[in-house]
Amino acid sequence: MMLKQAEVPAISKAIDGLYVMNDNDRLKELARMREKAMHDRASELEEAILTGMERGRAEGEAKGRAEGAAKKEAEMLDKMKAFGLSDSDIKKIFNIKS
């Protein structure tokens, strides 16, 4: 009851609510259910964030690999042309029909 003596209205009101809730099994169960729902929601949000991060990382890695492959291909074509190969010769080497 020491807290009751503080005479801070907001605290007194909260303490009164706790006493009422403590005496009422239905209110205790509702409070427990609300707390569980809040915990479940926080867990769902955390899982969604982690899934999104994993998906973004995988997409970034795939994009990086594709860009790297395209860059290597462009470098190879430039080298082939630098050695004097024509576009038609390069297409023959790679069996490209056009």
Instruction: Enter the pTM of the model.
Output: 0.50
SS3 assignment, position 97: coil
Q: What is the pLDDT of residue 6?
A: 59
Cα–Cα–Cα angle for 65, 91, 95, rounded to 5 degrees: 85
Q: What is the pLDDT of residue 69?
A: 93
pLDDT one-digit tens code per residue, 15-58:
887 777 777 788 778 889 999 999 999 999 999 999 999 999 99
Both tokens of residue 33? 């259910």
Give the closest residue to 21 by CA, choosing from 34, 8, 5. 34
pLDDT one-digit tens code per residue, 60-89:
999 999 999 999 989 999 999 999 999 888
